[in-house]
Amino acid sequence: MDQRADREFGRSIGNLDEIFAFVESFAASTRIVGEDLFALKLATEELFTNMVKYNSSEGDRISISLWRNGSMIGLELRDYRVAPTDPDEWSSADLSDPWHERKIGGMGVHLVRRTMDELEYTYERGTMIVRAHKQVR
Amino acid sequence: MFEIKCGENGVVVLAGRLDAAQAEKARDFFASIDRSIVVDMKELDYISSAGLGVLLAVQKRLKATEKGLTLINLNQRIRNIFTVAGFDRIFEID
């Protein structure tokens, strides 16, 4: 049976405490724990902060949806009234670079791709939609 | 929440959740560090790319003068994130 939670948050890094509380509450009610919970929190934070940092938006809210369907869990973030942008520019770091050549930023999307099973972006009528999901271990 | 403090014997202790909202707090603390130090992560539950970025910036600065961070007591999930990020090649991890 599908379980789902939806909420909107202000476009600010300062709202991360609320966002983590939202994720943890959903996880507790749907028995998402351990490594899977870590991955869900990480994906939510990384994708939300990237939207705040990189998207040029006329809106002030980002919606976050979390879901569980059997052994699959996932999330969807929607950033409204944004100019078209290329999310690939969010992942500018080369993780194989030696320490003295490593860029300080640009790791977030790499981490999400490696800890979630799937990650996809779409852009529909002024809204950026990012979805990720994984199989619960 | 997130805490960063000097523990016994000059060891820096990280605790809680080092996320994007807390990265500046960590950055400000490490700005005064100019020697090789041990960072105890036993009480650190979570770290994201923002926290990794802070540690990387400190390590790059210290290594330029042949110093560096030694990270100890990483839990398995954080150790996995370090591996994914390639940080196991950048930091001494015990």
Structure tokens at A130: 């990012």
Structure tokens at B58: 């400190």
Cβ A2 vs Cβ A55: under 8 Å: no
The candidate with the shortest Cα–Cα distance to A48, out of A26, A27, A64, A65, is: A64
> One digit per residue, pLDDT tens: chain A, 137 residues?
689 999 999 999 999 999 999 999 999 999 999 999 999 999 999 999 999 998 888 888 999 999 999 999 999 999 998 887 777 677 766 777 776 677 776 789 999 999 999 999 999 999 999 999 999 97
Three-state secondary structure string covering A37-80: HHHHHHHHHHHHHHHHHHCCECCCEEEEEEEEECCEEEEEEEEC
Q: Residues with Cβ < 8 Å from A116, sequence gap 6 or more?
A: A39, A43, A132, A133, A134
Q: Does A111 touch chain B (CB under 8 A)?
A: yes
CA distance A53 to A89: 12
pTM of the model: 0.94
CB contact under 8 A, B20 and A16: yes
Q: B52: distance to nearest CA of chain A, Å?
A: 8
CA distance A102 to A77: 29
To which residue do tokens 């948050």 refer? Answer: A9
Chain A residues within an 8 Å CB radius of B90: 99, 102
Report pLDDT for A92: 64
CB contact under 8 A, A46 and B49: yes
Report pLDDT for B41: 97
Write the single-letter amino acid at A89: E
Structure tokens at B73: 């007591």
Structure tokens at B82: 């370090």
**Which residue(s) pair with B75 in the sheet?**
none
Least confident of A32-41, B18-27, B41-50, B83-92: B83-92
CB contact under 8 A, B60 and A107: no
State the DSSP code for B8.
G
Whether B39 shows a pLDDT value over 80: the answer reads yes
Q: B6: distance to nearest CA of chain A, Å?
A: 24
Q: Residues with Cβ < 8 Å from A98, sequence gap 6 or more?
A: B89
- In the stretch 5-64 of chain B, residues with CB closer than 8 A to chain A read 17, 19-21, 46, 48-50, 52-53, 56-57, 59-60, 63
Report pLDDT for A57: 80
3-state secondary structure of B62: helix
Report pLDDT for A41: 98
State the DSSP code for B38.
E
Report pLDDT for B46: 98
Report pLDDT for A1: 65
CB contact under 8 A, A17 and B21: yes
CA distance A112 to A130: 12
